[in-house]
Structure 1
Amino acid sequence: MSIPANPLQWSIGLVGYGEVGRILAEDLRARGVEDILAYDIKFGTADDAPLLAHAAQYGVRPMTSHAFLARAADLVISAVTADQTLAVAVSSAPTLKPGAWFLDFNSASPGAKIKAAGIVDAAGGRYVEGAVMTSIPPYRSRVPLLLGGAGAAELAPLLKVLGFEGKVASEKLGVASATKMCRSVMIKGLEAMVIESFTAARAYDVEDQVVASLYETFPGIDWEKQGAYFFQRVIEHGRRRSEEVREVAATVREAGLVPWSAQGTAERQAWVADLADAGVFGKRGSAGFARSTDWRVEADRILANVKPKD
C-alpha cells in the first residue's frame, strides 16, 4: 500500500504511550487525524488501565506489539525511554510498510540514532531523527523540534500539516541529537545541581542566603519558581531523565571526553527517582505528589529520608 499524500489521512503509530505519547495523541486527534495507533510496554500489565482509558477516550487503537503497530502505520513516532531507542527500531523495522516514515523522538546519542537509522532504512523505511529541544507539556505538539537525516527536508512540511514545528538541522544524522544532548549536559545538570544545592542548604538552614545570592548573581532567573519546577520535574520524571542523561554521557564519550558531569547528573536523577518510587514524595497520581509551589516541602521530604554523616 502506498502512503497517502495527505498526512491527515495517515495511520500514525505512537510507540510509547506515556506523557508524550498521550499529548501527541490528543493533538493529532484535534488536528483531524482519524487513525491513531499506540503501543506501550505497559499494555497487558496491571498498570495499563489509565493508558487504555485515555486511548479509548481519544479513539486511539491499542496494539499488542511494535511489529503489529509498524505493519499498520504510515508514520511511526518512537517516544520511549532512551535505553529503548534501538530496541524499538529493531522490533519495528521488519514489518514497516515500504516507504513508511519512522520519526525517532528519543533522547539518544548520535551513535544510537545512526544505528537505529541503519536498521530502519535497511528494512525499507525512512528514518528521521527528531531532537525535542525543551519540555513538551507547555508546547505540546508544537514543541521546538530539530530534524535530521536524508529525509528530514521532505518530512518537515508534512509534519507541519500534522501540527508539529519541525526545523531541519542537517541532512547528516546525529547533528540534531548532538545539539540536544549537549544542551542536556547543561539543562539536566542544572536540575540536579539545584536539587543538591538547595536540599543541602536547607539541611544547614542557609537556604534563604543561598537563594538570595543566586538572585544577585543571576537576576534574570526566578530561583524560587525555578527551584520548585526543577524539583517537580525530577521527582515525577527522574527515571526517564536519568536514562536520557546516560545517553548524554555516551554522547560526550563519543566526542572523546570523560563525562564526569553527565555521569553525576544521571546518578542524582536516578537517586531522586528511587525516592519517588519508594513513596517519599507521596503517592503517584495524588494531588500532593511533587506539586508544591515551595521546593522546601520536597527538600524536607528528602532530608527526612537521609542520614547526615558524622
Structure 2
Amino acid sequence: MTQTATPWQDWTIGLIGYGEVGRILAEDLAARGVTRLLASDIKLGGPDEQPLIDHAARHGVALIADPARLAAAADLVIVAVTAAQAVAVAEAAAPGVRAGGWYLDLNSASPGAKARAAERVAAVGGRFVEGAVMTSVPPYRIKVPLLLGGPDAAGLEPGLTALGFAATVADARLGVASATKMCRSVMIKGLEAMVIESFTAARAYGVEDAVLASLAETFPGIDWEQTGAYFFQRVIQHGARRAEEMREVAQTVREIGLTPWSASGTADRQAWVAEQAGQGVFGPKDSPAFARSDDWRVEADRILSRPPS
C-alpha cells in the first residue's frame, strides 16, 4: 500500500526525544489506536535509560537508539528534543528519512535553525514541517495548541488532526510558526523570570504584600499569588530546558538585527534557578514535594536561605 493511501492511524510513528513531551505523545497516540510507535533518545544505552525502557514497555513503544534507523522505519518522525539540538538531530536522522516521509520538528528553535534542519531533511526527499508548541504541553497533552509552518504544513495538518493533535497551519513560509512562538516566549518566559526575581527580592525586603497589592491593582485580571506559585514551580522543574529555549529566542531576536537584552537576561535567570535546583536548594528532585508548593514564598525563602556561592 502506498504511503498516501495508508490511514494515518496505521502509520508507523517515530518519536525522537523520549522525555516529558515524547512520553506524553506516546501515551496519547497509543490511546488513539496507533499501534506502531518507535522512540529514540540520547539516554538510551546510558545509566539513565531504565525509566525510558519501563515506560516504553508499558505503552507498546519500540526503542531504537539510532535516529537514522528510527527514521527509516517511520512514516512520520516527530522530534521533541532540547532547543539547541534541532539541527544536530536533523543531521543524525536525515540519512534514514524516507523519500516523501514526514518530519515534524516540535523543537523550540529559531527560524534560522528550523531552516537549517529543513535543508537536511529536504536533501534526502523528506517533507519537513515546523511545529510551534504554543504553551506548556502537560495540561493539554496531545491537544496542546500547535502551529504548523512550511510548504508541506497543509499536507500534514489533516493527519495530525486525525491523530488527535490541535494543529493549525500558520503559514506556508518556513519560520513563521517558530517566530510566533519565539516572540511569545520573550514575554512568557521573561515574565516567569521577572516574577521570580521581583517576588524573591520583595520577600527579602518584607514588602511582598504591598508589591502584590500594587500588581493586583494594575493588572486586576491576574491572580498573582497563584501565578507566582505556578511560575516558581515551572522554572524550578524546567529551568535548564527553558534557559536553552531562551537562548534560541535570543538568537531569533538577533537574526533580525536587534540585541536580545531581555531574552538573554531571561535565559540567565532561568539557568540560575535550574542551577539552584541542581544544588538541592529546593529539596531532592525525586521527592513528590519538589517544586509543588502552593505558596511561592516557600521557594523564595529557600532561595534566600541558600549558602553563599
Is TM-score (shorter-chain normalized) higher than 0.5?
Answer: yes
Match of 1:55 in 2: 56
Cα offset, 1:194, TM superposition: 0.3
Which ranges of structure 1 fall in alignment gaps of 5 or more residues?
none
Matched with 2:226 is 225
Cα distance in 1, alignment partners of residues 49 and 34 from structure 2 = 24
**Number of matched residues?**
308
Distance 2:235 2:61 in 1: 29
- Name the aligned partner's letter for residue 212 of structure 1: A
Residue identity matched to 1:86: V
- Matching residue of 1:10: 11
Residue 189 of structure 2 corresponds to 188
Q: TM-score w.r.t. structure 2 length?
A: 0.98
Please show how residues 98-109 of structure 1 align to structure 2 within 5 Å. 98-109=99-110
For 2:130 and 2:12, the matched residues in 1 are separated by 19
CA shift for structure 1 position 306: 5.5
Structure 2 counterpart of 1:212: 213
Report what 1:275 is aligned to: 276
1:21-77 CA distances to partner (integer Å, 9 max, x unpaired)?
Answer: 010000000000001111111111111111211111101111111111111111110
Q: Distance in 2 between matches of 1:77 and 1:199?
A: 39
Residue 34 of structure 1 aligns with an amino acid whose one-letter code is T
CA distance in 2, matches of 1:43, 1:6: 30
Partner of 1:298: 299
Q: Which moved more, 1:233-242 or 1:205-214?
A: 205-214
Q: Distance in 2 between matches of 1:82 and 1:294?
A: 30
**CA distance in structure 1 between the aligned counterparts of 2:52 and 2:304, rounded to whole angstroms:** 33
Measured in 2, the distance between the counterparts of 1:29 and 1:59 equals 8
Residues 283-304 of structure 1: CA deviation (Å, up to 9, x unaligned): 1131110000001111111111
Q: CA RMSD in A?
A: 1.2
Partner of 1:142 in structure 2? 143
Q: Is 2:249 the partner of 1:248?
A: yes
Q: 2:76 corresponds to which residue?
A: 75
Q: Deviations 1:219-266 (Å, cap 9, x if unpaired)? A: 100100000000000000001100000000000001110000000000
Could you tell me how far apart the structure 2 residues matched to 1:193 and 1:28 are?
36
The offset of 1:95, in angstroms, is: 1.0
TM-score under structure 1 length normalisation: 0.97
In structure 1, C-alpha distance between the alignment counterparts of 2:244 and 2:39, rounded to whole Å: 22
1:155-191 Cα deviation digits (max 9, x unpaired): 0001011100110011000000000000000000000
**C-alpha separation in 1, matches of 2:53 and 2:235:** 25
**Which secondary structure state, in structure 1, belongs to the residue aligned with residue 39 of structure 2?**
strand
Cα deviation code 1:138-157 (max 9, x no counterpart): 11101111000111001000
| 1:157 aligned residue | 158
Aligned to 1:175: 176
Alignment of 1:35-46 (within 5 A): 35-46=36-47
Amino acid paired to 1:231: F
Distance in structure 2 (CA, Å) of the matches to 1:269 and 1:28:
31
* CA displacement at 1:205 relative to structure 2: 1.0
Range moving further from structure 2, 198-207 or 2-11: 2-11
Corresponding position of 2:25: 24
What is the alpha-carbon distance in structure 1 between the residues aligned to residue 183 and residue 224 of structure 2? 23
Q: Structure 1 CA distance, aligned partners of 2:278 and 2:47?
A: 16
Letter in 1 for 2:72: R
Residues in 2 aligned to 1:100 and 1:2: alpha-carbon distance in whole angstroms: 12
Name the SS for the 2:302 alignment partner: helix
Matched position secondary structure for 2:77: strand
Q: Is the partner of 1:289 in helix, strand or coil?
A: coil
Q: Distance in 2 between matches of 1:281 and 1:14?
A: 32
Give the whole-Å Cα distance in 1 for the aligned partners of 2:111 and 2:182: 9
Output the CA distance in 1 between the equivalents of 2:195 and 2:211. 11
For 1:285 and 1:95, how far apart are their aligned partners in 2? 37
The share of aligned pairs that are identical, in percent, is 68
For residue 185 of structure 1, what is the amino acid of its counterpart?
A: V
1:5, distance to aligned residue in structure 2 (A): 2.4
Instruction: Specify the SS of the correspondent of 1:32.
Output: coil
Q: Structure 1 residue 262 and structure 2 residue 263: aligned?
A: yes
Mean alpha-carbon deviation: is it higher for 274-283 or for 74-83?
274-283
CA distance in 1, matches of 2:303, 2:26: 35
Instruction: Indicate the SS of the match to 1:173.
Output: coil
**Large movers: runs of 4+ above 2 Å:** 1-5
SS at match of 1:69: helix
Q: What SS is found at the alignment partner of 2:18? A: coil
